[in-house]
């Protein structure tokens, strides 16, 4: 099989690494890829939102499966366009992708499917939204409806903060068209976890739980990022609760979309808050999380290409997922200043040294190869990922590996996985 992976982050490096292990695979192409993916296949200079160029490339190279990493090309209809060309795609069509592409769409669909979530209201009119804020309990959450690179969600502690967020989104349009419509909802209290499932439009197969660390600073302080680390499993969602939780948050959405004639094929990601009233959905994503993908794929023993093809072909019921019993941890090494301004072009040393431990894999994200050197080229640079017989061992192994890697302005959180240790 010839496989095209779309994307350029640590998630896509880990996907390429796992796909490369399949005996079904001949060639791997990654568009546009990064420094790490260039060792596993051929990087292709096509951006993720250039749908016509991706289609033409897939046709020219006789691609047998396209694996879409980020959400944007799915929202833009890449899967639909590939289907019209009879090219299999692991990822939902643009309608189902609105689960991530539109927060209003997602909330309405949750309500229709009776999925537990926060109470909400949707507004397209600024003055009506402003009036609504006057009689609400705080804190509450103000969300830009569209894709905003993970930055369009504000937890407001009082009416002044909520009004400012609303003004930024709807009047100043700091998120562009994404903020023309807003969702205002109650702020749920509890601990978060990520819960992912492979889906074939009718059936689903659950992956282990995981937990992301969104904020830049230790003890979850500072601005939100794309994710500073993750671990699996998350004790807040133990294995004995997987089926019960899937019945609440995965099955109703898959069933509802199938009944609408819009079957969901790919990865459905439920971001959950475990409240006193049980798990509630904060958001849905329509792809692997980054960095959750890295620790999850470290634990996956099954052939991922077989699973993806079963999703595309509607044959997931034949798949038995094999998961390693070990815990896994991913620590993101970032450029100092991220998620705001940061330097690029610094040389990275020590990856090979870190990987002398066979239970460690360093996934590259914001990197490029130049004159044989690995250089930084983004805010999140590396995802150091390790297995351990328990969470404590996985964390220890991961930080020991990370400390062998160096580049100018290196930054990483030192508390990844600590919530899990406190629960164990």
User: What is the structure's pLDDT at 110?
Assistant: 98
> For the chain, which residues make up each domain, given as ranges?
2-93, 125-180, 191-318, 327-423
pLDDT tens track for 122-168: 999 999 999 999 999 999 999 999 988 777 899 999 999 999 999 99
* Beta strands 2-7; 182-186: pairing state: unpaired
pLDDT tens, residue by residue, 55-114 = 999 999 999 999 999 999 999 999 999 999 999 999 999 999 999 999 999 999 999 999
Fold exhibited by the domain 191-318: D-amino Acid Aminotransferase; Chain A, domain 1 (3.30.470)
pLDDT digits (tens, 9 = 90+) for 279-332: 999 999 999 999 999 999 999 999 999 999 999 999 999 999 999 999 999 999
> The domain 2-93 is classified under which CATH number: 3.40.50.20, 1.20.1340.10, 3.40.640.10, 3.40.50.620?
3.40.50.20
Q: Considering the domain 125-180 in this protein, what is its CATH number?
A: 3.30.1490.20
Express each pLDDT in 175-206 by its tens digit. Answer: 999 999 999 999 999 999 999 999 999 999 99
Q: pTM here?
A: 0.96
Provide the CA 400 distance to its chain's centre, in angstroms.
25
Summarize pLDDT for 398-421 with one digit per residue, the tens.
999 999 999 999 999 999 999 999
Q: Is the pLDDT of residue 216 over 80?
A: yes
Specify the DSSP class assigned to residue 213: -
Q: Which pLDDT tens digit goes with each residue over 283-296?
A: 999 999 999 999 99
Q: What is the pLDDT of residue 132?
A: 96
User: Class of 327-423 per CATH?
Assistant: alpha beta
HEC readout, 239-275: HHHHHHHHHHHCHHHHHHHHHCCCCCEEEEEEEEEEE
Q: Are 208 and 232 in contact (CB under 8 A)?
A: yes
């Amino acid at each position: 099989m010839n496989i095209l992976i779309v994307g350029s982050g640590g998630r896509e490096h880990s996907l390429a690494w796992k796909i490369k292990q399949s005996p079904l695979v001949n060639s791997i192409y990654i568009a546009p890829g990064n420094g790490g993916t260039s060792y596993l296949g051929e990087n292709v200079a096509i951006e993720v939102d250039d749908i016509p160029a991706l289609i033409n490339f897939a046709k020219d190279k006789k691609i047998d499966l396209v694996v879409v990493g980020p959400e944007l090309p799915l929202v833009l209809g890449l899967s639909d366009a590939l289907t019209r060309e009879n090219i299999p795609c692991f990822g939902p069509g643009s309608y189902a992708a609105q689960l991530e592409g539109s927060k209003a769409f997602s909330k309405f669909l949750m309500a229709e499917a009776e999925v537990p979530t926060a109470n909400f209201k949707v507004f397209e009119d600024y003055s009506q939204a402003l009036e609504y804020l006057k009689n609400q309990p705080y804190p509450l959450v103000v969300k830009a409806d569209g894709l905003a690179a993970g930055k369009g969600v504000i937890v407001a502690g009082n009416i002044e903060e909520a009004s400012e967020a609303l003004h930024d989104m709807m009047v100043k349009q700091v998120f562009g068209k994404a903020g023309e419509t807003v969702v205002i909802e109650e702020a749920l209290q509890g601990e978060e976890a990520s819960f992912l499932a492979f889906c074939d439009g009718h059936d689903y197969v659950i992956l282990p739980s995981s937990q992301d660390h969104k904020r830049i600073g230790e003890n979850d302080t500072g601005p939100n990022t794309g994710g500073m680390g993750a671990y699996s499993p998350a004790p807040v969602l133990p294995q004995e609760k997987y089926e019960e939780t899937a019945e609440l948050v995965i099955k109703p959405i898959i069933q509802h979309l199938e009944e609408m004639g819009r079957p969901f094929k790919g990865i459905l990601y439920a971001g959950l808050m475990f409240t006193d009233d049980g798990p509630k959905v904060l958001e849905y994503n329509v792809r692997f999380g980054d960095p959750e993908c890295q620790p999850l794929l470290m634990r996956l023993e099954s052939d991922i290409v077989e699973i993806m093809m079963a999703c595309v072909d509607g044959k997931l019921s034949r798949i038995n997922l094999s998961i390693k019993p070990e815990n896994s941890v991913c620590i993101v090494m970032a450029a100092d200043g991220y998620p705001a301004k940061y330097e690029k072009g610094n040389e990275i040393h020590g990856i090979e040294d870190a990987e002398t431990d066979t239970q460690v894999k360093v996934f590259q994200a914001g990197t490029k190869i130049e004159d044989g050197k690995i250089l930084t080229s983004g805010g999140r640079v590396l995802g150091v990922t390790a297995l351990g017989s328990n969470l404590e061992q996985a964390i220890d192994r991961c930080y020991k590996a990370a400390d062998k890697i160096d580049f100018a302005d290196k930054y990483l959180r030192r508390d990844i996985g600590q919530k899990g240790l406190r629960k164990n």
